[in-house]
Structure 1
Amino acid sequence: MVHIHPTALVDPAAELDSSVKVGPYTVIGPHVRVGADTTIGPHCVIEGHTTIGAENRIFQFSSLGAVPQDKKYAGEPCELVIGDRNTIREFCTFNIGSPTGRAVTRVGDDNWIMAYVHLAHDCQVGNHTIFANNSQLAGHVEVGDWVILGGFTVVHQFVRIGAHAMTAMCALLFADLPPFVMCQGQPAQARSMNFEGLRRRGFSAARVSAVKAMHKALYRSDLTLDAAMQQIQAISADVPDAQPDVALMLDFLRQVQPQRGIVR
């Protein structure tokens, strides 16, 4: 038997693994699917075409799968997909995608998402991220793996945040934040690279030095973006262990739109 509190309202068409636990007064709609060992706290609303994986912990008063805050949305069957082993704290709001975007809002695995976080329609969140309280993502935002968002970070629509990047509290992002970069301010400005975070994740001294060289090319050498990319490309020849890190940075920079640019 699914462990459902008697005051919860779960639509008979919803698909819940037998190990799922549902707290008091929670409402779950007909198009919801929930994987094994996920716990859903009291007073949550999970609706829409929402798929939730295994071993997630969803705390009280969260709203997952509501329609996007998009005036163009007209009831299309868009989705919210959440992976495995995520912690979603109180009062979080994750909307489904929109037909003008990817049609799906996606959250990966092993993310730590604190209270009052908002993910608007079509956001794409990777794995192992940390979103501190009141982080707010507008529509179509992309967040790479291992990103850390400080409390009250606000991200403009269509902005991309590269893997291993980090924002300070109250950062305001209007431009793309490249991988590894730490930023702070309103609007956000690059301050350094996330060196300590990389060391904690097992980056070797050579790889950290390569990230420092990329930071110098992007922010300390007074180069255009194209010229900085050429200099970054050369780093992989000097530090073979850093080839994946250089490839990650270059792939990100190649997708930067001129009208948006990167956090400087």
Structure 2
Amino acid sequence: MNQPLAYVHPGAKIAKNVVIEPFTTIHNNVEIGEGTWIGSNVTIMEGARIGKNCRIFPGAVISAEPQDLKFDGEETTVEIGDNTTIRECVTINRGTKDRYRTAIGKNCLIQAYSHIAHDCIVGDNCIFSNSSTLAGHVTVGDYVVLAGMVAVHQFCTIGSHSFITGGTLVRKDVPPYIKAAREPISYVGINSVGLRRRGIDSEKIKEIQNIYRVLYQKNYNNSQAIEILETEMEATPERDEIIQFVRNSTRGIMKGYTGIY
């Protein structure tokens, strides 16, 4: 551990080969796994649980108290999975008594000036581009890409493998496998490029497209679309995942296709 001019609280649990650059502050009740690099001028506050081989760049603030007036000092955490990179000036707030934690999965890239608020749960292999913002209690699946300056309303859910274009305001739930854009946010197709990059074959992509044609392009309401999907389309993990997402949505899913984007 290399920490000239850094402050590490004696109660912090730091693996032996963690590198800590000068002018960084690490508070009590912090755990950092092997191989992680902490840049200069980083602040890691109580409740941080950082995995192995992470990289945290200058100016980041991890596990600060939530920006929530209902927070009453309860003991909560921020959990960051292995191999995740946190770029400059990112802020990640710890949880409240709603979930008692804020969590980011493995192999994520959170780019500069992004903010992840209290009680957010982010899956594995996600990319948040510069200045992406999650309000409190947001749930994000695996392999989600947020382009620059996306802002997500509190309590929204974003499904796995979805892509949200830059500057989009997310006020509704975003189902898995799709591209979302416009104001107000709406369906503009499936994330076929991202799916191909992850090894999804053309037949599976076509199946997902057909599911969303029923949901978004046939003028059915959600109940009608789900009934058609269950009775007329073969049961597959992807079909069932999409149906369950729509059924479980508490904020309602974003609106449908409205023309060529």
- Common fold by TM > 0.5: yes
Question: TM-score scaled by structure 2?
Answer: 0.95
- Map of 2:160 onto structure 1: 163
- Map of 2:258 onto structure 1: none
Residue 210 of structure 1 aligns with an amino acid whose one-letter code is E
Q: Deviations over 1:143-170 (max 9, x none)?
A: 0000000100000000000001111110
- Map of 1:145 onto structure 2: 142
Say whether residues 1:214 and 2:211 are aligned partners: yes
Q: Is the partner of 2:213 in helix, strand or coil?
A: helix
Q: Deviations over 1:1-48 (max 9, x none)?
A: x222x2100001100000100011000001100000000000000002
Residue 57 of structure 2 aligns with an amino acid whose one-letter code is F
Residue 2 of structure 2 aligns with an amino acid whose one-letter code is H
- Map of 1:173 onto structure 2: 170
Q: Is the partner of 2:173 in helix, strand or coil?
A: coil
Correspondence for 2:200 among 200, 203, 224: 203
Say whether residues 1:36 and 2:37 are aligned partners: no
Q: Is the partner of 1:192 in helix, strand or coil?
A: strand
- Map of 1:120 onto structure 2: 117
- Map of 1:79 onto structure 2: 77
Task: Give the Å deviation of 1:232.
Answer: 2.6
Distance in 1 (CA, whole Å) between partners of 2:183 and 2:46 is 35
Question: TM-score scaled by structure 1?
Answer: 0.94
- Map of 2:2 onto structure 1: 3
- Map of 1:25 onto structure 2: 23
Residue 93 of structure 2 aligns with an amino acid whose one-letter code is N
Distance in 1 (CA, whole Å) between partners of 2:172 and 2:153 is 8
8 Å Cα contact 1:235/1:246 also seen in 2: no
8 Å Cα contact 1:125/1:144 also seen in 2: yes
Task: Give the Å deviation of 1:253.
Answer: 1.3
8 Å Cα contact 1:84/1:109 also seen in 2: yes
Say whether residues 1:223 and 2:235 are aligned partners: no
Correspondence for 1:48 among 43, 46, 49: 46
Distance in 2 (CA, whole Å) between partners of 1:44 and 1:224 is 49
- Map of 1:261 onto structure 2: 252
Distance in 2 (CA, whole Å) between partners of 1:74 and 1:102 is 14
Task: Give the Å deviation of 1:193.
Answer: 0.7
Q: Deviations over 1:39-93 (max 9, x none)?
A: 0000000002110000101111000000000011111111111110001100000
8 Å Cα contact 1:217/1:232 also seen in 2: yes
- How many pairs were matched up? 255
Task: Give the Å deviation of 1:215.
Answer: 1.3
- Map of 1:63 onto structure 2: 61
Task: Give the Å deviation of 1:187.
Answer: 2.4
Task: Give the Å deviation of 1:256.
Answer: 1.0
Task: Give the Å deviation of 1:229.
Answer: 1.6
- Map of 1:246 onto structure 2: 239
Q: Percent identity?
A: 36
8 Å Cα contact 1:3/1:18 also seen in 2: no
Distance in 2 (CA, whole Å) between partners of 1:19 and 1:168 is 38
Superposition CA RMSD, Å: 1.1
Say whether residues 1:90 and 2:82 are aligned partners: no
Distance in 1 (CA, whole Å) between partners of 2:48 and 2:241 is 30
Gap runs ≥5 in structure 2? 256-261
Q: Deviations over 1:87-129 (max 9, x none)?
A: 1100000000001x10100001000111011000000000011
Q: Is the partner of 2:92 in helix, strand or coil?
A: strand
Distance in 1 (CA, whole Å) between partners of 2:70 and 2:118 is 12
